[in-house]
């Protein structure tokens, strides 16, 4: 991978998975290599598929606030995961200050990191020594999320790693075999290949209209919240139509793990 310059952090879209994805050796190895190739961030800002709130809401900046275990039905050990990263109150203020004048920005002092944020971070930065802030998605509209990402771009020059955390396919209701090594259904394969081609072509217009153009819809995303963080990432890129790197691919539980790094 060609790492970004030390003066500018990249923006990422990660397929974060459910908590058991940390047991997938291939994904863990891919994510560890990705983190090793990146400049070390000063702070991390995460937009997760698991937090929709309007107006834009900024999460807790106090590291003593516990994680949000926003899942159910898993073994107890996944609920004992901790990630005591420092809070980022100055980054919270910067994010609020980048929003348009007159636009409401809420603060939720009790909303700590959900699994879309902390699961990949436990692999990428296991020492939990980098300040992390999570903010909500105030909309699922791709164009509006692109504009939100554009407002955040300058944070990359301040050492902030911006992560949109979702999943390239997320058709859970349509999985016949939800085991980790399952053969992916055709709708997942088709959507993933279409997405790979759109990234390789820098086709932002196609991605923005994925709900109508992509094969495999609506099975790949019966709701679009897991693809939506991608558009914050693309908006925060230096050029949205630049060709991103695709360091992570493959499937887990039949779902596409494709992830990107933007310059």
What is the model's pLDDT at position 113? 96
Residue 247 lies in a domain: yes
Residue 1 lies in a domain: no
What is the model's pLDDT at position 223? 97
What is the model's pLDDT at position 240? 78
Residue 40 lies in a domain: yes
Asked whether the bond before 55 is cis by omega within 30 degrees of 0, the reply is yes
User: Within 10 Å of residue 224's Cβ, how many Cβ atoms?
Assistant: 19
What is the model's pLDDT at position 180? 87
Per-residue pLDDT reduced to its tens digit, 170-217? 999 999 998 888 999 999 999 999 999 999 999 999 999 999 999 999
Residue 4 lies in a domain: no
- Number of domains making up the chain: 1
Alpha helix locations (H) across the chain? 25-37, 89-98, 115-124, 142-152, 186-201, 204-208, 210-213, 229-236
CATH (domain of 116) = 3.40.830.10
Residue 2 lies in a domain: no
Residue 241 lies in a domain: yes
Given a cut of 50, whether residue 3 has pLDDT beyond it is: no
DSSP 86-136: PP-HHHHHHHHHHSPTT---EE-TT----HHHHHHHHHHSTT--S-EEEEE
Do 83 and 35 form a contact (C-beta atoms < 8 A)?
no
Given a cut of 50, whether residue 141 has pLDDT beyond it is: yes
Given a cut of 90, whether residue 36 has pLDDT beyond it is: yes
Q: What is the mean pLDDT of residues 13-36?
A: 91
Per-residue pLDDT reduced to its tens digit, 40-93? 999 999 999 999 999 999 999 998 889 999 887 788 888 899 999 999 999 999
Residue 96 lies in a domain: yes
Q: pLDDT grade, residue 20 (50/70/90)?
A: confident
Q: Which domain holds residue 93?
A: 11-262
Residue 56 lies in a domain: yes
Rounded Cα gap, residues 45 and 137, in angstroms: 12
């Amino acid at each position: 991978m060609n790492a970004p310059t030390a003066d500018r952090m990249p923006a990422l879209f990660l397929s974060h998975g459910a908590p058991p994805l940390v047991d997938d050796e291939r994904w863990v190895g891919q994510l560890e290599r990705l983190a090793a190739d990146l400049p070390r961030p000063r702070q991390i800002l995460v937009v997760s598929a698991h937090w929709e709130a309007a107006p834009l809401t900024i999460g807790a900046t106090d590291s003593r606030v516990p994680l949000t275990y926003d899942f159910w039905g898993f073994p107890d050990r996944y609920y004992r995961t901790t990630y005591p990263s420092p809070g980022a109150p100055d980054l919270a203020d910067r994010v609020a200050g980048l929003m348009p004048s007159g636009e409401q920005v809420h603060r939720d002092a009790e909303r700590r990191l959900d699994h879309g944020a902390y699961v990949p971070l436990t692999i990428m930065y296991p020492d939990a020594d980098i300040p992390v802030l999570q903010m909500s998605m105030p909309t699922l509209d791709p164009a509006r999320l692109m504009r939100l990402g554009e407002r955040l771009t300058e944070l990359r020059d301040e050492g902030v790693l911006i992560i949109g955390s979702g999943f390239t396919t997320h058709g859970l209701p349509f999985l016949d075999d939800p085991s980790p090594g399952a053969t992916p259904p055709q709708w997942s394969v088709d959507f993933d290949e279409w997405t790979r081609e759109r990234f390789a072509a820098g086709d932002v217009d196609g991605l923005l209209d994925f709900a109508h153009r992509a094969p495999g819809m609506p099975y790949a995303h019966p709701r679009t919240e897991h693809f939506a963080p991608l558009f914050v990432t693309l908006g925060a890129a230096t050029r949205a139509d630049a060709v991103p790197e695709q360091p992570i691919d493959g499937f887990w539980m039949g779902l596409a793990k494709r992830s990107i790094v933007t310059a």
